[in-house]
Amino acid sequence: MDGKTMTKSLSDHEILMTSDPRPFEKPIYVTKPFLPPIEEFTERLKEIWDSHWLTNNGPVLQGFACQLSKYLQIDNVCLFTNGTLALQIGLQGMGISGEVITTPFTFVATTHSLFWNKIRPVFVDIEPDYYTLDPEKVEAAITPWTSAILAVHVFGYPAKLHALADVARRHNLKLIYDAAHAFGVEVCGTPIAHFGDMSMFSFHATKIYHSIEGGLLTFKDSGLKQIFNYLKNFGFKNEVEVVMPGTNAKMNEIQALMGSLVLKHLDEIINKGQEIETIYRDRLKTIPGINLPPQLPDDVLYNYAYVPVEVEPKEFGMNRDELCDALKRYNIFSRRYFYPLITEYACYRNVSVFDPLTTARKVSSRILTLPTYYDLTSDEVHRICDIISSCHDVGKK
Ligand code: T4K
């Protein structure tokens, strides 16, 4: 067999392994929203055109709410225009006040939702494996003013559900989950929406599951449904009665349509995410200084929303920021979710923090989330790994 024939029989990936990695022709972003086939969208768009009903609890939204309720096996669902307003309204409707114990390792909207309700965030540390709130630290931070725990299933990794529920029960606190990243996750066969008193899911375009923009609250107390409906619609009870100072946080019909269509594809999206993560895990374990979180326990059905890695600078040969910049030169736009920590943002720097946040600080300085999305091909994932490997070689020289 001559050299030419030999090359032809190699896969794209093998060819790449034989040469220096080259930059991607087009940018590879950390995520790319899944879009259903356009015919599916236009077909259903006709219903909206025919009805001329665009927002304010329209028929598509009502159908979407039923679909979600069935998917999550939960009666109490309420849709919003985005996840941030959902969480803000959720906290307000539940009457949360005083202090809430929460994580600094999250997207800033988690903390903003507390501030918009004049609630003081009490930041405590995270655990090192899956970056979720450390229940022992939570318990140590409880004061007479504590009214709730606001934990985050960060990257879709379930928080310490049982330990947090135990702390909340013993201290009579509400347990609220920012589940922005966790749609599609199940624990012991139960959708994650069933844990805690209330959960917020974000359906933003950058999420594994989306409705362009959107937010969902799921909750235990059926009495909250009416309150949430008032709060998201200016407080209107009927045409002439306003029963509370609500805001406008309604999801519109186009968002609901997108959400409804994407839901039908969620299994394929998650399966693709699993294939991508498997390649990353397999390839990156051979590169010193690039560490993924441990495999999740068997009783967790994960949604493969993110691929976070920690960069250990000494072993890898460059630090996280250097790797992030190096990848950009190859047209790969990984993201430093979540850096800086919330406590380092100018608007939260003056909040007193009593916990040294040792793990959160370390993780935040090393974390990098790698591209993962439905359209990303296996060859592209291999190519990203080749490039990370070559960065390691350069860094170690
Ligand atoms: N709690 C948590 C824990 C959250 O992570 C979030 C949101 C919330 C609460 C609040 O939920 P929402 O109110 O957003 O529903 C993004 C998202 O905007 C934000 O929703 C998300 N978390 C956060 C983690 O990430 P950015 O500023 O990083 O997004 P951006 O615009 O830089 O997009 C990232 C990449 O995605 C781009 O480089 C390219 C790609 N992209 C993005 C958009 C918007 C696309 O390919 N198409 C698109 O349409 O915040």
Edge-to-edge strand list for the sheet holding 290-291 = 290-291, 307-311, 367-370
Residues whose CB falls within 8 Å of the CB of residue 197, separated by 6 or more in sequence, listed in order: 94, 174, 175, 176, 219, 220, 221
Within its chain, how far is the Cα of 171 from the centroid?
Answer: 28
Q: How far is the CA of 137 from the centre of ligand 1 (A)?
A: 29
Residue keyed to tokens 């370390």: 362
Q: What angle do CA 268, 273, 279 make, to 5 degrees?
A: 130
Neighbours of 350 (CB within 10 A): 6
Reply yes or no on whether the pLDDT at 45 is more than 50.
yes
Give the burial class of 238: count Cβ atoms within 10 A of its Cβ; 0-12 exposed, 13-18 middle, 19 or more buried: exposed
Read off the DSSP letter of residue 272.
Answer: H
Q: Which residues line ligand 1 (CB under 6 A)?
A: 29-33, 82-84, 106-107, 109-110, 152, 178, 180-181, 202, 204-206, 215, 333, 337
| pLDDT score at 2 | 34
2 versus 363: the higher-pLDDT residue is: 363
pLDDT value at position 16? 46
pLDDT at 396: 75
pLDDT of residue 305: 98
pLDDT number for residue 367: 98
Query: What confidence score (pLDDT) does residue 393 get?
Result: 85
Chain segment 7-41, per-residue pLDDT in tens: 333 344 544 444 578 999 999 999 999 999 999 99
CB of 219 within 8 A of CB of 76? yes
The stretches of 2-82 forming alpha helices (DSSP H) are 3-8, 12-18, 38-51, 59-72
pLDDT of residue 6: 35
Q: What distance in angstroms lies between residue 204's CA and the mean position of ligand 1's atoms?
A: 6
Q: Over the stretch 254-302, which tens digit does the pLDDT of each residue have?
A: 999 999 999 999 999 999 999 999 999 999 999 999 999 999 999 999 9
Distance 64 CA to ligand 1 centre (A): 22
Stretch 327-339: mean pLDDT: 98
Model confidence over 201-256: pLDDT tens digits? Answer: 999 999 999 999 999 999 999 999 999 999 999 999 999 999 999 999 999 999 99
Ligand 1 midpoint to CA 128 (Å): 24
Supply the pTM of this predicted model: 0.95
Please give the pLDDT value at position 346: 97
> Is residue 377 over pLDDT 90?
yes
Per-residue pLDDT, 15:
40
The preferred substitution site among 107, 176, 303 for testing ligand 1, maximizing ligand atoms within 8 Å of CB, is 107
